[in-house]
Amino acid sequence: MIDSIKHKGQRRQMISKLRKKGITNKKVLTALEIVPRHFFMDTALEDYAYEDKAYPITANQTISQPYTVALQTQLLELNKGEKVLEIGTGSGYQSAILLAYGDLKVFTIERQNELFKKTSLLFKKLGLKPKKTIFGDGYLGYPKEAPFDSILVTAGVIEVPKSLLSQLAIGGRLVIPIGYNEQIMTRYIRKGEKDFDIQTYGSFKFVPLLKNK
């Protein structure tokens, strides 16, 4: 895994803030402590990398706030060897957290070509190895590799895409922000073919999951 001495102290401070905000999963906290978020930000904004805020990246998109990344990862309740699908690769930071979490097969989809290319290159440079970085429409999921034990959506939707529910394994978790101006963090756990447990975890602001025309 990539390592960076730079900003180590700031990362530690960020972790103690995340703990206070209710992140308890040790593997999630360790992943956020290890991964240098500044590698995933525009150079001009590097000094702000450990502020608990979202920042602009290429193509009017954003790198999610560390708390949001930590909470979404925690809500996935990941187990060893599981298959995870991330919708919205963006900067690649969330993918890097999943890879640092360890022992997961990570698939990630991005629809914006410039970002897809830029982040694919960054993964290579940093030695990060998702199973696959996919250029495509996340609304469709990734049927080729379904079912997934976890699906994580990092952009806001108005309603939950049926394709994503159908690509969840039994026992699988989908974490997705739902809403128009603000999104409610929602987790679906698949109990049976058509049986889902649904829980909500507070209000957030995401860029929208865009539909291909």
Between CA 125 and CA 26 the distance in angstroms is 27
Asked if 40 contacts 96 with a C-beta cutoff of 8 angstroms, the reply is yes
Evaluate whether 89 touches 111 at the Cβ level (below 8 Å): no
Nearer to ligand SAH, 15 or 152 (CB): 152
* 32 lines the binding site for ligand SAH (CB under 6 A): no
Strand-strand pairing, 148-153 and 168-178: parallel
> In whole angstroms, how close is the CB of 104 to ligand SAH at the nearest point?
15
Q: Are 92 and 40 in contact (CB under 8 A)?
A: yes
| The binder of ligand SAH chosen from 84, 110, 176, 178 (CB under 6 A) | 110
Q: Does 210 bind ligand SAH (CB under 6 A)?
A: yes
Position among 73, 74, 91, 183 found at the interface with ligand SAH (CB under 6 A): 91
165 binds ligand SAH (CB under 6 A): no
Would you call 96 helix, strand, or coil by DSSP?
helix
203 is catalytic: no
Alpha helices in 127-212 (DSSP H): 162-166
Among 10, 25, 30, 62, binds ligand SAH (CB under 6 A): 62
Nearest residue to 102 via CA among 5, 172, 15, 30: 30
Set 4, 64, 95, 163: catalytic member: 64
Q: How far is the CB of 173 from ligand SAH (least distance, A)?
A: 17
Is position 70 an interface residue for ligand SAH (rule: CB under 6 A)? no
Rounded Cα distance, 168 and 52, in Å:
30
- Considering only 5-13, 124-132, 137-145, 180-188, which stretch makes contact with ligand SAH by CB under 6 A? 137-145
Residue number of the CB closest to ligand SAH reads: 90
- The DSSP 8-state label assigned to residue 38 in this structure reads G
Which residues fall within 8 angstroms of residue 140, CB to CB, at 6 or more apart? Answer: 163
Contact residues: ligand SAH, CB under 6 A = 61-64, 87-88, 90-91, 93-94, 109-112, 115, 137-139, 154-155, 207, 209-210
